[in-house]
Structure 1
Amino acid sequence: MATRLKELDRPAMREERQSVRMWALVDYGDVSENAVVRDLSATGFGIETARVLPEGAAIAVTIGASAPLAAIVVHASDDRYGCRLADPLDAAMLDALTRDGPFASARPTPAPAPQVASYPRGVRAGAIAGAAIACWTVVLGLGFAIFA
């Protein structure tokens, strides 16, 4: 399988890659992970991420404020990966992604976790005290019913 992916990627590897350094967000499975794009061409890119991505994995990559780009991992070495884009970038998009220099794109962040409402301290203390009183009422009531 790895040989086949590399054979399919040979033309893309001849494409001129521009050395860049941009923040990206990699979506694989149900997990989003920050990454750094190291090189970029119209047909693919190289990224560095702590997330383990097996060769042949279908991923989505968001570079800066761009829309997610679908890609396939074609090469994996430690924490660096070579990826082939499902749809090649047109010249305008490639220029827009590479013209602003290193780390020009804002660091993307995963969607924040939903906020859970927190009740005031008095309400929480009242709920705990009420629950304790209810439990002791049940224990004492059962005790009297059984032993009386």
Structure 2
Amino acid sequence: MGTPRPDKAEDLDGLRRLGERARSSGLRTALCHGCFDLLHVGHVHHFHEAAALADLLVVSVSADAACVKGPGRPLYGVADRTGLIAALEAVDHVHAAEDSSPMRVIEALRPDVYVKGPDYARNPCVRLRAESALVERLGGRTVFTDEAVTASSTALLRRLHA
């Protein structure tokens, strides 16, 4: 897959400029962040729901070292994961995060909506509470999508190795 489409890939400075342009034009931005190790139908539904909440959808993808999901994970490097996500029509921009958290991404973009999946609504971790607090401090809000969780990358991979 390689690198994402150049017209969709953004570094932190690009996200900062994107957020500023969006705000000055009255456009709303949504941000999804995660490992997205093995893209599946649940991710696609999540991105479509997130895209419906704003004018621009940015997906930030965790660095390889930040995807602590077990031996041999992530299955694909960040360039392949961002490239695959960039190929989705619902996604306007992608960012390969260098950090283990999306805090610098949130600070740069200042999204109107920070979108997490329903599994996070049921089990909000300390990290998510800090991320949501930053989003709110910058004028945005956190929203949980309500698509049915029919799959997770980890569960799918466990099933294949069982």
Greater RCO, 1 or 2 (C-alpha within 8 Å, sep 6+): 2
Between Structure 1 and Structure 2, the one with more strand by share is 1
Q: Which structure: larger Rg?
A: 1
Same fold (TM over 0.5): no
State the TM-score, normalized to the length of structure 2: 0.28
